[in-house]
Amino acid sequence: MGNCCNNADNSALQTEAEEIIAFTGKEKTISILQEVQKRKGYLPEALLCEIARLTGIAISDFYGVATFYSQFSFTPLGKYVVKLCNGTACFVSGADLLYETLCDFLKIKNNETTPDGLFTIETVACIGCCSLAPVVMIGDRLYGKQTPSGIRDLLQEIVTLESAGNSDGGKV
């Protein structure tokens, strides 16, 4: 992260930071980060710096916590976050092939977002549905026993819905 915390003259940023602090309190670093992530979909550096300025929490504390937990992201996520389980059961059931298919179809890699802002790929540890391996989650929906052609069809379905302008945001 670069040098930040020179945003005091940005009143919109300050207002947003104050709203977040009013909601979470000044001391709970994780709660603040969760609220920022929830509101913005990621952790914008300028906003974190403004919150650090207002709370007195060291910006390094925010980064220390945020890099420890996978729930936080420093870059904007796509509208559809495609989580591919890479746990043992999924791995031995072909998660690597699914990963190749995802990368191939979306032209991005793990933790990247498509230029149109539609998809992000995230590989994750076991999500507790090993009997359905290999497992993919898109938004909050789980797809078990996936195959490369199945995942391609799912992605294509989303692309088609989005081009028609009638998607419901992650619930295909």
φ/ψ of 113, rounded to 5, equals -120, 140
CA-to-CA dists, residue 54 to 13, 21, 58, 65, angstroms: 11, 9, 10, 18
User: Nearer to ligand FES by C-beta: 17 or 95?
Assistant: 95
Q: Which of residues 123-152 bind ligand FES (CB under 6 A)?
A: 126-130, 133, 135
| Strand ranges, E, within the chain | 80-85, 119-124, 136-138, 141-143
10 Å Cβ neighbour count for 95?
22
User: Nearer to ligand FES by C-beta: 26 or 141?
Assistant: 141
Q: Which of residues 30-89 bind ligand FES (CB under 6 A)?
A: 85, 87-89
| Interface residue with ligand FES, options 51, 90, 98, 158 (CB under 6 A) | 90
Determine, following the binding rule CB under 6 A, whether residue 172 of this chain makes contact with ligand FES: no
Radius of gyration of the chain (CA): 18
User: Nearer to ligand FES by C-beta: 24 or 86?
Assistant: 86
Q: 97-115 burial by CB neighbour count: b if 16+ within 10 A, else e?
A: ebbebbeebbebeeebbbe
Q: Tokens at residue 136, please?
A: 């993919």
Q: Tokens at residue 63, please?
A: 């980064």
User: Nearer to ligand FES by C-beta: 117 or 128?
Assistant: 128
State the nearest-atom distance from the C-beta of 82 to ligand FES, in Å.
14
State the nearest-atom distance from the C-beta of 128 to ligand FES, in Å.
6
Residues near ligand FES (CB under 6 A), total: 12
What are 123's strand-pairing partners? 84
User: Nearer to ligand FES by C-beta: 5 or 125?
Assistant: 125
Q: Which residue ranges make up the site for ligand FES (CB under 6 A)?
A: 85, 87-90, 126-130, 133, 135
